[in-house]
């Protein structure tokens, strides 16, 4: 293997540069050239294939900083359609012209879905990333539990659901225990919870904080570190009666309540509280927005104004209950130590997998009590159901206590290995040294895109 292409696909995460860095470092050791393909799959559809040589003379370019969030080679939500054979042929032709012997895609479940048709034309490996932590399996046999029924309403003609499971769940069985980006997203979200708490306490208010994660509750679960009173996850329909009882109990006790909800939470009928009707992104995912607002509206209606007036804690429920979204701040900025370290290992492992001759494979992060965290290779097909589809991992129900609406004992056990020691001392020091740097006031922001642009090369110019 002489030259590897690498691209970042889907929503960004804080640790994409760290994964690229790990891959480039390994490539340098093996004397392999590494080309960064600009803007994810978008680059492959462009006959000029804009790209950057990331390790000329087997030295990493200085713009590649593993402590910087986002991705220096850009990302997009474009994806490869397996049915468009002509397009796929064009792509593999372009890769050949560029002299690329293998491809690393840094992506999530959507990217993994598009890997198969590429892997039939060129050795391709996925290095995982997603703040949602939904790329993986609760146990190896999970893909076999999916059943499909025809559904004229769905554009694919089918809908998928999970059959009853007879597999036992054990933390040691998880495939891809945690995904780079997740830990930093939890850090930002848990900090948000801590900060909102003191204002809720001071003003005797009920705060609802919405976090990302699509249909997986892992980010919401992790915010337990910020000590919210209640956590609502998409995997468990909201029981409004129970929720309001618990809110009133807590409000009586402490004069404030902090609730965290995942953006994909559903009501008792399974309807998404925050789904914007008919809106999907280019990857076909329903755009989720407004779960916290929908929850607030329901709570205002159920609790009513009298309750707050009686306590002399506000004139109305509308005044007392407020919402905040952590939003894209949880997806950006400097990755914390856990993410940086394991992202780099996963990037390096992806290179090793290609060099070992593996194709259609994924580098995964495994955890067990004896060995701690370690990276392995896993065949992508083992993530696929029997029709070849990859489904996002849902958080296993045993990680959540639906009565207390908090992580269960097992949920805590799941979080501990990831987050104990996840923040490096340099992470805290970095903030101390850089945020209030007087230079920040004097100089405008200098974007990485400006520097990388100077390095972009095009196929036609070279060919």
Cβ distance to ligand F6P smaller for residue 32 or 362: 362
Q: How many CB atoms lie within 10 A of CB 434?
A: 11
Strands 33-37 and 275-280: unpaired
Supply the minimum distance, in Å, between the C-beta of residue 373 and ligand F6P. Answer: 23
Cβ distance to ligand F6P smaller for residue 5 or 108: 108
Cβ distance to ligand F6P smaller for residue 283 or 314: 283
Supply the minimum distance, in Å, between the C-beta of residue 281 and ligand F6P. Answer: 5
Q: Is the dihedral of CA 280, 110, 261, 168 positive or negative?
A: positive
Supply the minimum distance, in Å, between the C-beta of residue 218 and ligand F6P. Answer: 10
Supply the minimum distance, in Å, between the C-beta of residue 45 and ligand F6P. Answer: 19
Cβ distance to ligand F6P smaller for residue 213 or 314: 213
| Residue facing ligand F6P at closest CB distance | 212
Alpha-carbon span 327 to 162, nearest angstrom: 30
Alpha-carbon span 270 to 400, nearest angstrom: 18
Residues of the shown chain interacting with ligand F6P in the complex, contacts defined by CB under 6 A: 11, 130-132, 212-214, 263, 281, 288, 331
Distances in Å between the alpha carbon of 314 and those of 6, 259, 295?
55, 19, 19
Supply the minimum distance, in Å, between the C-beta of residue 70 and ligand F6P. Answer: 12
Supply the minimum distance, in Å, between the C-beta of residue 14 and ligand F6P. Answer: 11
Supply the minimum distance, in Å, between the C-beta of residue 294 and ligand F6P. Answer: 15
Cβ distance to ligand F6P smaller for residue 214 or 296: 214
Cβ distance to ligand F6P smaller for residue 325 or 349: 325
Strands 33-37 and 102-107: unpaired
Cβ distance to ligand F6P smaller for residue 94 or 331: 331
**Start-to-end CA span in the chain (Å):** 20
| CB contact at 8 A, 359 and 119 | yes
Cβ distance to ligand F6P smaller for residue 54 or 275: 275
Spatial strand order of the sheet with 102-107 comes to 51-53, 33-37, 3-8, 102-107, 124-128, 361-368, 372-379
Supply the minimum distance, in Å, between the C-beta of residue 330 and ligand F6P. Answer: 8
Supply the minimum distance, in Å, between the C-beta of residue 84 and ligand F6P. Answer: 23
Cβ distance to ligand F6P smaller for residue 276 or 356: 276
With the CA atoms of 19, 25, 30 and 35 taken in that order, what torsion angle do they form, in degrees rounded to the nearest 10?
60
């Amino acid at each position: 293997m002489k030259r590897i292409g690498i691209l970042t696909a889907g929503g960004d995460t804080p640790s994409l540069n760290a994964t690229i860095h790990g891959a480039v470092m390994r490539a340098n050791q093996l004397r392999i050239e590494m080309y960064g393909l600009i803007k994810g799959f978008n680059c492959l559809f462009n006959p000029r294939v804009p790209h950057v040589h990331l390790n000329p003379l087997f030295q990493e370019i200085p713009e590649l900083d593993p402590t910087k969030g986002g991705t220096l080679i850009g990302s997009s939500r474009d994806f490869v359609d397996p049915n468009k054979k002509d397009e796929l042929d064009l792509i593999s032709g372009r890769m050949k012209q560029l002299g690329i012997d293998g491809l690393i895609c840094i992506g999530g479940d959507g990217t993994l879905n598009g890997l198969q048709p590429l892997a039939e034309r060129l050795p391709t490996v996925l290095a995982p990333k997603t703040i949602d932590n939904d790329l993986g399996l609760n146990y190896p046999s999970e893909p076999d539990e999916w059943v499909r029924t025809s559904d004229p309403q769905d554009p694919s003609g089918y809908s998928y659901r999970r059959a009853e499971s007879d597999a036992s769940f054990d933390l040691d069985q998880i495939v891809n225990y945690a995904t780079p980006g997740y830990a930093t997203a939890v850090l930002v979200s848990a900090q948000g919870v801590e900060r909102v708490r003191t204002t809720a306490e001071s003003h005797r208010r009920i705060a609802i904080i919405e976090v990302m994660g699509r249909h997986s509750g892992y980010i919401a679960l992790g915010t337990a570190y910020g000590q919210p009173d209640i956590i609502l996850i998409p995997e468990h329909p909201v029981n409004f009666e129970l929720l309001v009882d618990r809110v009133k109990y807590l409000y009586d006790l402490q004069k404030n309540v902090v609730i965290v909800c995942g953006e994909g939470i559903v009501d008792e009928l399974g309807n998404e509280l925050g789904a914007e009707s008919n809106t999907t992104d280019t990857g076909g995912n329903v755009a989720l927005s407004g779960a916290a607002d929908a929850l607030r509206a329901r709570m205002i209606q159920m609790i009513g104004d009298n309750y707050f007036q009686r306590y002399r804690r506000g004139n109305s429920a509308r005044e007392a209950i407020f919402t905040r979204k952590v939003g894209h701040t949880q997806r950006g900025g400097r990755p914390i130590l856990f993410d940086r370290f394991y992202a780099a290992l996963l990037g390096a492992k992806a290179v090793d997998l290609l060099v070992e001759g593996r194709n259609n494979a994924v580098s995964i992060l495994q955890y067990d009590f004896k060995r701690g965290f370690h990276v392995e290779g896993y065949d992508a097909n083992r993530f696929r159901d029997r029709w070849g589809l990859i489904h996002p991992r849902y958080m296993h129900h045993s990680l959540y206590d639906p009565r207390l609406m908090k992580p269960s004992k097992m949920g805590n056990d799941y979080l501990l290995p990831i987050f104990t020691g996840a923040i490096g001392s340099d992470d805290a020091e970095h903030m101390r040294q850089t945020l209030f740097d007087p230079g920040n006031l004097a100089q405008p922001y200098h974007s990485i895109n400006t520097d990388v642009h100077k390095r972009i090369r095009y196929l036609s110019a070279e060919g």
